[in-house]
Amino acid sequence: MKELTVEAKTENLDRVTDFVNEQLEEWNCPLKTIHRIDIAIDELFGNIANYAYRPGVGPVTVRVEIRREPLSAIITFIDRGVPYDPLQKEDPDVTLSAEERGIGGLGIYMVKKSMDGIRYEYKDGRNILTVEKNI
């Protein structure tokens, strides 16, 4: 398991993505899987950076674990921002046009559909959001 802690700022997105990708590449993760994980990182880290500490800034820790059976990447985002469980948000009706759909929710919906597992908990004053993707 490896961890990176950075300020929850959008300008740190590339640093977080590079950190996760380094771990994935060590395990010969397919490029298609890396791209799906990168989209999830963009959504999840972006939400933390934009909403968790507003109007201030705080830390976010990104943890990467590789499990061998089945071979999968487990990526956890930990912050001490406002408690928020994005999994409680109702999925958008994707059968509606963009104009008919309400604003918000599409990004986390895409993460839920593209990952093999996602879970949230609020523990000891921390938001802990974990995604899992089989490699």
What are the φ/ψ torsions at residue 91 (nearest 5 degrees)?
Answer: -65, 140
Domains, the chain, in order of start with CATH, read 2-134 (3.30.565.10)
pLDDT grade for 96, boundaries at 50, 70 and 90: low
Largest pairwise CA distance in the chain: 44
Q: For the residues 18-43, what does the mean pLDDT come to? A: 96
Structure tokens at 128: 């802990």
Residue identified by tokens 């880290």 is 45
Q: Are 34 and 18 in contact (CB under 8 A)?
A: no
Q: For the residues 2-21, what does the mean pLDDT come to? A: 97
Q: Is the pLDDT of residue 95 over 70?
A: no
Name the pTM for this structure: 0.89
Count other C-beta atoms under 10 Å from residue 111's C-beta. 23
Return the beta strands (E) in 1-135 as ranges: 2-7, 59-68, 71-79, 117-123, 126-134
